[in-house]
Amino acid sequence: MAVSLREYRARIKSTESMKKITRAMELIAASRIIKAQQRANAAAPYARELTRAVSAVATYSNVDHALTTEPASPDRAAVLVIASDRGLAGAYAANVLREAEGLVAKLQAEGKSVDLYVSGRKAEAYFKFRNRPVVKTWTGGSDQPTFEVAQEIGSTLIDAFLAGQELGAEGVHEVHLVSTRFLSMLRQEPQAVRLLPLEVVEGEAKPEPGDVLPLYEFEPSPEQVLDSLLPQYVVSRIWFSMLQAAASELAARQKAMKSATDNAQELIKKYTRIANQARQAGITQEISEIVGGVNALADATAAND
């Protein structure tokens, strides 16, 4: 019984240590998620206004640009997967990778070969374990992304797409992005969107009578404006997706660590209750043995008399 009691006390001690770790990680995630949300909210107006500007040029200028022209027979696509560098975030990385696998399967069903670009060690390890080739990987700082990395990713994907527009050149005809959209602290959804060729949504619908439309003047020409705006648009989309993914990762980690802390507390209560029962059983057994010994001694003394 004493050995069993020592085992439960050791389990209680190890569970308490685990609880301290998960509680600390929960607090760290909670402190960082506020800043991550603020960064995502601060980037949203720029991305929205840039989308409007690109929409105005692409819709009303009637200019055929390499980044907006649909290829005649696309047979190669690039998929950028934005995941996390670390685990302990619940099903965050698994959901993104599941969405990416669905997109890859869809593209392959359409007869397209897929080039993978990944951001985050979890995605890198996932495809490496399955012997899936990855063209390029970016790791480090998934919960605190930098704009320089977003620019590098955007430039790499744009170069691959422009190379695909040339005859006989190695490149891709489509670029897709798989990341996580932050909706709330309790809800984050994986999403797959096509970056290139650009699918401009705003400005396609005809204005209603009486609507006040923004006026744009293009200098020096719509072609050169598109040359300048479209790369910035792609980079801003990637940057905004990275910021939302960072907020989603921190929210998922906070939720997972809170659940782990609560489970550890329940385990401590359970082991404490069992240890108390074991201790009480041991005391009862010792008392029974003492009483039994006293009774035996009393009986022996009475027999001698």
pLDDT surpassing 70 at residue 108? yes
What is the mean pLDDT of the segment spanning 257-281? 89
In this predicted model, what pLDDT tens digit does every residue of 49-66 receive, in sequence order?
887 777 777 766 666 777
Does 207 or 215 have the greater pLDDT score? 215
User: Would you state the pLDDT for residue 203?
Assistant: 43
What kind and span of H or E run contains 141?
A: none
Q: Per the domain annotation, does 155 fall within a domain? A: yes
pLDDT in tens, 5-46: 788 888 889 999 999 999 999 999 988 988 888 888 888 888
Q: How far apart are the first and last CA of the chain?
A: 38
**Which strands make up the sheet holding 136-138, listed edge to edge?**
136-138, 113-119, 76-82, 174-184, 187-196
Beta strand ranges found along 97-241 (DSSP E): 113-119, 136-138, 174-184, 187-196
Residue 62 pLDDT: 66
Which pairs with CB-CB distance under 8 Å and at least 24 residues apart come from 55-60? 55/200, 55/201, 55/202, 55/203, 55/204, 56/203, 56/214, 56/216, 57/216, 57/218, 57/222, 57/225, 57/226, 57/229, 58/198, 58/200, 58/203, 58/226, 59/200, 59/203, 59/204, 60/203, 60/216
The answer to the question of residue 98 being in a domain is yes
- Give domain status of residue 136, yes or no: yes
What is the CATH classification number for the domain harbouring 190? 3.40.1380.10
Residue 170 pLDDT class (50, 70, 90 cuts): confident
Q: Does 1 score more than 50 pLDDT? A: no
Instruction: Tell whether the model's pLDDT for residue 3 goes beyond 60.
Output: no
Tell me if 230 sits within 8 A of 65, measured CB to CB: yes
Q: Is the pLDDT of residue 156 over 90?
A: yes
Give the helix, strand, coil percentages of the chain, each rounded to 5. 60, 10, 25
| Angstrom distance (rounded) from CA 278 to CA 276 | 5
Distance, CA of 163 to CA of 208 (rounded, Å): 40
Percentage of the chain with pLDDT > 70?
A: 88
Read off the pLDDT of residues 110-142 as tens digits, 9 standing for 90 and up: 999 999 999 999 999 999 999 999 999 999 888
Q: Return the beta strands (E) in 63-173 as ranges.
A: 76-82, 113-119, 136-138
pLDDT category at 202 given cuts 50, 70, 90 is: very low
Answer yes or no: is 19 within a domain. no
The boundaries of the domain holding residue 97 are 25-258
Could you give the number of structural domains in the chain? Answer: 1
User: Is 271 among the domain residues?
Assistant: no
According to the model, what pLDDT value does residue 209 have? 55
Instruction: Classify residue 302: in a domain, yes or no.
Output: no
Residue 204 has pLDDT above 50, yes or no: no
Query: Is the model's pLDDT at 281 over the cut of 90?
Result: no
Mean pLDDT for the chain overall: 84
Residue 281 lies in a domain: no
Assigned domain for 7 exists: no
